[in-house]
Amino acid sequence: MARPRISASVPESLNEDIEQLVEDDETINSKAEAIRHLLERGFEAEELEVEIKHREARINELENMLGERDQVEEQVTELAQTIENQSKAPFFVQWWSWWRSRGNSESESRSMPESDDQE
């Protein structure tokens, strides 16, 4: 099956670049091969650009997920500090916290917290 033929006019500077490619690359023996080579490289470049865009989108997605994770870690740290501060609170503060939470949880409402400070 014969290849379709295409004729094209190119500027002199592009013609010189094609001739230079034929001279420099030992695998390319003619201007037609050089043009085919350049077209293939162009298609490869387009595919790589699409792949880069996909990877950039994935990187942005991962950066957003990392930012959300950092926020969650900060909230967990704050919660841990709040719990730690509450357990060190005076007896009355612990009792008040217990009194407020009585209706929220049956298991917690049956026992009052023990105070660390026995005066």
pLDDT of residue 15: 93
Q: Which residue has the higher pLDDT, 9 or 98?
A: 9
pTM of the full structure: 0.52
What are the distances in angstroms from CA 94 to CA 9, 34, 53, 60? Answer: 88, 83, 55, 45
> Do 103 and 109 form a contact (C-beta atoms < 8 A)?
yes
pLDDT exceeds 80 at position 66? yes
pLDDT exceeds 50 at position 109? no
> Do 80 and 56 form a contact (C-beta atoms < 8 A)?
no
Average pLDDT value for the chain: 84
Q: How confident is the model at residue 104 (pLDDT cuts 50, 70, 90)?
A: low
